[in-house]
Amino acid sequence: MNNNNSEFEPKIVAFVCNWCTYAGADLTGTSRLKYATNVKIVRFPCTGRIDFMLLLKAFAQGADGVIVSGCHPNDCHYTSGNFHARRRWITFRGLLDFMGIDVSRIQYSWVSAAEGAKWADVVNTTVANIRELGPYTEYQKVAGYLDKEEYNG
């Protein structure tokens, strides 16, 4: 755990779908709702397109937390993309937890295009949560492996 929480600014990457959450985030802005600036948003056509490896890549590249967000079930712009995504996340989360990767650093949500306030809340809550957890140095240290690779591991 990090003792310098007051100086630590979490780096969050958000993988969101274009039709719901991205539009919702837009609405947050046009509504002039203030929310934490720690998030870098990556836009996908649909949550069904979000490969599970992307989340791990985000952590390996320095993200301390990840948000994955899309349309509510039954509201997917492509009908069933988010259903596929949900299955994938259920599967992936179980595996990650078994391997000891901190799943509490990944926040999944359904945020529709009308839920500007919800998006702000999701981001703020996630940032506060990650600030509490501290930087994900455990994972980032391993990702820097070849910097000092000793040949027998």
Partner 1 sequence: MDKLREKAAALLADGTVTMVLGYEEGTNKPRPVFCHTAEQASKLVYSSQCINNLAVYLTKKEIMGTGKVAVIATIPTLRSILQLSVENQLNEENLLVITVTDKEEVKEFANFAEIESYIADFQLKLDAKEQEIIDKLEGMSREERFKFWMEEMSHCFKCYACRAACPLCYCTKCIVEENRPQWINPWAAPLANMEWQINRAMHMAGRCTGCGACGDACPVGIPIHLLTRKMMEDLAPEFGFTPGQPSKNGNALSTWKADDKENFIR
Partner 2 sequence: METKYISKNGLNEWFSQIVKSGKRVYAPVEERGRVEFKKVQALCEVADEYIQTTQSIKSAVFPRAEVLFSYEKENGQVKVDDFNPDTVKETVLWKVHPCDAAGFKPLTAIFNWDYKDKLYNAHLEKTTLVTFSCAKADKSCFCTSVNGGPGNTAGSDVLLTMLPDGGAIVEILTPKGEALVQLAASAFENDKGEDKSKYLADVPQAFDIEEVRARLATAFDSPVWKEQSERCLGCGACAFVCPTCACFDIQEDAHGSKGKRIRCWDSCGFSLFTKHTSGHNPRSVQSQRWRQRILHKFSYMPDRLSVFGCTGCGRCSRACPVDMNILEHITSITKK
Q: Residue numbers of the site for partner 1 (CB under 8 A)?
A: 52-53, 56, 60, 73-74, 80, 83-84, 86-103, 107-110, 122, 138, 142-143, 145-146, 149, 153
Using CB under 8 A, list all residues that contact partner 2. Answer: 61, 146, 149-152
State the Cα–Cα distance between residues 140 and 135, nearest whole angstrom.
Answer: 9
CB 118 within 8 A of CB 72: no
Q: Which of 26, 43, 12, 53 is nearest to 113 (CA)?
A: 26
In whole angstroms, the minimum distance from the beta carbon of 58 to partner 2 comes to: 12
Shortest distance (Å) from residue 107 CB to partner 1: 7
**Which one, 6 or 133, has the nearer CB to partner 1?**
133
Residue 11 CB, shortest distance to partner 2, in Å, is: 15
61 binds, among partner 1, partner 2, none (CB under 5 to 8 A by kind): partner 2
